[in-house]
Structures are given as structure tokens and as C-alpha cells.
Amino acid sequence: MPIEILMPALSPTMEEGTLSKWTVKEGDTVSSGDVIAEIETDKATMEVEAVDEGVMGKILVEEGSEGVKVNAPIGLLLEEGEDKSALDGYTPQGAEGASSSEADSKASDDKADSDEKSSAAKSEASSNSKSETPAAEADDDGDRIKASPLARRMAKDAGLDLKALDGSGPKGRIVKRDIEEAKDKGVGKAEDKTAAKSDAPTAQPSKPVDEHEPLAQYGISADRYEIKKADNITKISAKRLSESFRDIPHFPLNVDCRLDALLKFRKDINAKTPEGVKVSVNDILIKASGLALKKVPQANASWIEDGRIALHKHADVSVAVAIEGGLITPIIKDADQKGLAQISAEMKDLAARARDRKLKPEEYQGGTFSLSNLGMFGIASFASIINPPQGMILSVGAGEERPVITDGALAKATVMTVTLTCDHRVVDGANGARWLSAFKGFIEDPMTMLM
């Protein structure tokens, strides 16, 4: 039987990607570990290695195809002793889950739900999948039911109907404690859910977008603009940033920092660093951010959707880097423990590879705090959108000469405004203010960063 090559999940948050290139063709011999394709995710282009060995029997998804769902079959590998006749009449399981053209993205909601179920079922059935996706049931309305495998088994043993339960896990997933609670309360019958649905208000269907006149409903005719196709980075960023801004109870705090001491400190440091190493202001800000996270550990936190809080043990600073089509946030891990020369070297390497889309997932995923600097563009101040699951993001404005009061007299100083956006679920106003105070202290007296 042919071996199905599935669209891999190259990061924990990846849902779909673009199959940008096949490095093998039908009839080629493939060994385990061979690079067979290149996949473009929302942040980078990654090489895909073969898990099994055999002969490339059939390519199911052509290179350049966009929106290919994770765990959807993209090719068929013939085992030893098989020839192309083994493909006759063979239908890949979950093949309907692949969305390889723009037309697929315009399919109806019912078709999309069917695709997701098929792809998820395939992920459990296939032995060569690197990341399994639990199968999802659907109720009579076509809504997916998210439940852990353990919760499904417990519900089946207890005679409970998952459709009648509400989940308390991440993104509404039904977990073990939901089953135990339903058993204790004697709830979970189908009629409970049916009754609840009958009382719920009916959602109004969204108005379809006109393909040729998408802005007509706003009174803007098509001849007054042109339409540009959004790439994967833009589409995924739009989705996640919308969710972050909508779902996270965020608030800003801002403070002015005098930079004169820091600029002199930087000049002195660069005069003594090895040839080829040049510490930037941003490198010092990264170091100061890491030290402030260690000084105020309550602010180095993430909200967990089941109602818990994660207090991070490391100060891993994600730094926003502009790339074609959007942003990516490579990480300086343990920023508090590294010297400025090391931070500078790492940041230059990460930024260069980020622009070439050559970063590994672990190099841009997993930070505990983010820093975004638009000072080089002359922006005086701004507020950023939180990067989940992080609890804070710092927005850095330009350093500029401003009038200040020093010892009761008017003077001038180089001043920079920074804005800290906090997730109020994990960082309240007091802890956010303490973190900013610690950060400002390191900036205005940078020698303390070396103590």
C-alpha cells in the first residue's frame, strides 16, 4: 500500500502553509532523511525531510499551492516492490483536507468543517505523521467538538454526550475535569444542549464579500483602487493580531527615559569592543529588558486559557524585525545573562537570517517578552499589540533633545518615550509600573547593568 506524505506541522501554531517547491519528482528514489520539499509557513521557508524510504509515486499537491492544511496528503510514496499499479483506485485518506488553491478558501463552511474532520482523522490513522491532531466530532449543526482523547473515552464510558457539555480547556476544549464535573452534577444529556440551543439567540450570517466589488458596501467603486494578493505572513498576522487585540484585556503605560548617560556608555563600550563588533542602542535595550524581567519576575508571565498563570524562569526577549510582507520576532534567550557584545552578534545574525526567511522555529517562537523599536523612523511614541502568550510588549520611540528640569533649572537632554502594553490578566498596573521603573533605572544609569 502506498505511503502517504503528509503536510507537516513545522511549528506549534501552524495550521496551513504553502508548498513552495518539490525537490524530487515522480519516479525518484527517496531515502529517509532526504529533503523532498520546501514549505513556506507564516514566518519562514523550511525544508521537509522524508520519514520513510521508497519511490516517489505521485505528487498530489503541486508546488506553489497555497493554503495546504496541516496533515493533508501532499504525495504518495511507493514501498519496496510496488510499482505505479499500486496507485490504481487508491484514494488518499483525508485528501479532501488539502486546500491547494484560492478557490478552496472560498468554499462553504460545511465543506471547510468536512475538510478539518477528514484531515484530523487522517492524523490519527497515519503512522508517518510527526504531529498528530486528535480527531474532531461535529454536532448536527456542523460545529466541531473539541475534546481530549481521555475526555472522549471518559464520556463514552459514562454515557455522556459531548455535544451537551461546555469545555473549560484551551479554546473551549472539553477536558477530564469537565467530564468529572458533568458526572457529579448529573448533566450531560443531549436534551440539555438542545434546550440551551433553543434559548440562544440566532447569529446573523455575515454578508458575503463581492469578489469583483469588495468595497462596494462602503461606497467605494472598484475603479478607484487595485487589489493586491496577501501572502501567508500577512494573512496569518492579520488573524492573530485581530485575536490578540480583541481577546486580551490590554492597557498601556508610558514613561520618558533620559538617554545621555546611555549614549556615553555605548560610545565607551564600542571603543573597547573587538574589531567588527558594534553595540547598538537596541542591544542595550534588550539587555535592560532582560534584567528588568528578572528584577520584577511577576511581570514575566503568561496567561493560560484554563485559568492558570505561567511564571517564566528565563528572560527570553523577542525583538521585532521588519521583513518583506510583515514582521518576525527572533529571540535573544536569557538576555539578562549575556554580555552586550554577544547580544549584538546574535541579533545581527538573527536579523539577517530573518530577512532571508532562514530562521528555525525555535529561534522565533517561545519568547517571554517582546520589544519593538521604531525610533529609527523618527516615531516619538506608539503602542504595540501583545504577542500571545506573552504578557507584555515594549514600544520604543525616538531619542530626541527635549527641555527638562534638572536641579530646579531648565536644561536640555536626549529623551526617549517608551510604552509598555500589558495583559491585565497577568500584569496589573502596579507590576507594570515596577517593571518600567526597573527598566528606566538601567537605561538612565547603564553601569548598573554590569553589577
> Catalytic residue numbers?
424
Using DSSP's 3-state secondary structure scheme, residue 148 falls into coil
CA distance 125 to 231: 32
CA distance 317 to 187: 46
Cis preceding-peptide flag for 92 (omega within 30 of 0):
no
Using DSSP's 3-state secondary structure scheme, residue 254 falls into strand
Helix axes 176-185, 149-158, angle to 10 degrees: 20
- Beta strand segments in 65-177, E: 65-69, 73-78, 137-138, 144-145
Rounded to the nearest angstrom, the gap between the alpha carbon of residue 123 and the centroid of all alpha carbons in its chain is: 21
Cell numbers found for residue 10: 513545522
DSSP codes, 206-252: PPPPPSS-TTGGGT--GGG-------HHHHHHHHHHHHHHHHS-EEE
Q: Which of 440, 447, 439, 399 lies closest to 281, judged by CA?
A: 399
Helices (H), 107-189: 109-125, 149-158, 176-185
Q: Which helix (H) or strand (E) holds 396?
A: strand 392-406
Q: Which of 435, 351, 358, 349 lies closest to 392, judged by CA?
A: 435
**54-59 and 73-78 beta bridge pairing:** antiparallel
Sheet-wide strand order for 29-30: 3-6, 73-78, 54-59, 29-30
